Amino acid sequence: MASFVDQVTLHLVAGHGGNGCVSVKREKFKPLAGPDGGNGGDGGNIVLFSDPQVTTLLNFHRSPHRKSQHGQPGQGDHKAGTAGAEMLLSVPVGTLVRDQAGEVLIDMDAPGMRLVVGPGGQGGLGNAALSSTKRKAPGFALLGTPGFEGDIFLELKTVADVALVGYPSAGKSSLIAAMSAAKPKIADYPFTTLHPNLGVVESGDVRYTIADVPGLIEGASEGKGLGLEFLRHVERCTALLHVLDCATLEPGRDPISDLDVILGELAAYPVPEGQKPLLEREQLVALNKVDVSDGSDLADLVKAELEERGYRVFEVSAVTHAGLRELSFALAAIVVADREARNSEPIKERIVLRPRAVNAKDFVVKVEGGTYGNVYRVVGDKPERWVAQTDFANEEAVGYLADRLARLGVEDDLFKSGAVPGSTVIIGAGGGVVFDWEPTLSSAAELVAAPRGTDPRLDDNERATNRSRRKNYLERMDAKAAARAELQSEREAGVWVDDEGFAVEKDDESENRD
């Protein structure tokens, strides 16, 4: 079972916002006392926190799925929903955080840093908050928006002052166990160390940390052995201590050739931009296993050559603790000098969060080609959030959304982009929400359909007086009376009109009928 993890993928689901409430206050003698629906609670955020007490990502390896609490919906009588609790995830100092695209979000290289990696959803407004002088009693409320759902990648780069590097079975684990209180696994076979071990060393009044990096072999910078997986733990170290085995039994190996191989792999490993290359850092050499007679003789032979290369060389033994005190104080001096140099450097520039520009647009209209014509896509935080908050089963809520989009200027930009009534409009990325766009009527002028240069609203339209209405009424009554008198006279005279419109006498018509 794994005991050390330095890379992990977290699957996050932040809490969704609670829905707003639609409610109308009812009291005795006041059946409709006004809207009193409360707002929904916000969803809980997911926050990363760099904790110096945490040394591994093992906890996230075992349970990579994390979910924060949802916000509760609002209730009547102006009761707001409870906000979801924040989820705090403690990570080791030195954790690199990347998003789904692989972009670095933050390097948590200092204790106490916080980063919201999963923002919770926003709670919806109740109808009490949506009421206004023009909208006395809204019959709708806004829905809560969903929280963040996605993956983030965590990569641990150990923060230590000194890194022990060397071939497998060179005695690095025994050395760190002898110099500190660390208890790494020690055995007489290669690649005993499968993950970095940290130890704290006290030399006088100086305290510093050392890291035991798994053994390196030729080709480690290209992925051979375990080197590529753990060379990143050397990036943040101030000094390198080359641990050379003076009692190896493998043919063709000696401390000088081992050192050359390790230096070649360190030189081939690319460090992040802005960091000092590995070979430009302080380097010391520890000739280990001098408690063995052959090891002591070999150390005496190679020490002079190593000193000619410019290295400070220490003959040590993890078994008898010979030379460890001198080595510990030499490393402490390097660490103190580096800390003083860092303190004299200018303070790292703070990240300044500036407000958005006043004239910055809240959305963008993109024209995309489709099978049946152009498709107009509206992308922006505000319109996408407003669509997510809308209950499309409520016509009043849909109308409220249309008013908000019109005030934001979405319709004006659609006109400029060439959209016409009936065009397909999508709000949001991907599938989004699809509409058959019908422009909002902002004035009665849009209903006027008259020839160019004319306006029927400007024509004279005088109101009829009582005298003129009485005159028209009397004229219609006189015309009706004259028509009735004419029909009566024809009936009395016995004159009828046949199918072809000719006048005939009543007797002739009777004979024809017989």
Which parts are annotated binding residues for GTP? 166-173, 191-195, 212-215, 288-291, 317-319
Residue 219 is encoded by which pair of tokens? 């080709």
Alpha-carbon gap, residue 32 to 28, rounded angstroms: 10
The 10 Å Cβ neighbour count of residue 75 is 18
SS3 category, 264: helix
Structural tokens at position 431: 């599938």
- The binding site for Mg(2+) consists of 173, 193
Annotated binding site: 166-173, 191-195, 212-215, 288-291, 317-319
What is d(CA 177, CA 184) in angstroms, rounded to the nearest whole number? 7
CB 286 within 8 A of CB 242: yes
Beta bridge partners of 47: 88, 116
Tell me if 402 sits within 8 A of 395, measured CB to CB: no
Integer angstrom CA distances of residue 96 from 4, 11, 90, 194, 270: 16, 16, 13, 21, 16
DSSP 304-342: HHHHHTT-EEEE--TTT-TTHHHHHHHHHHHHHHHHHHH
* Rounded-to-integer distance, Cα 514 and Cα 498, Å: 16
The sign of the dihedral angle between the CA atoms of 33, 34, 39, 40 is positive
| Distance from C-alpha of 210 to C-alpha of 53, rounded to nearest angstrom | 16
CA separation for the pair 426, 433 (Å, rounded): 5
Task: Using alpha carbons, select from 257, 264, 260 the residue that is nearest to residue 220.
Answer: 264
The C-alpha angle 352, 358, 363, rounded to 5 degrees, equals 100
Q: Which amino acid is at 466?
A: N
Taking residue 432's Cβ as centre, other Cβ atoms within 10 Å add up to: 16
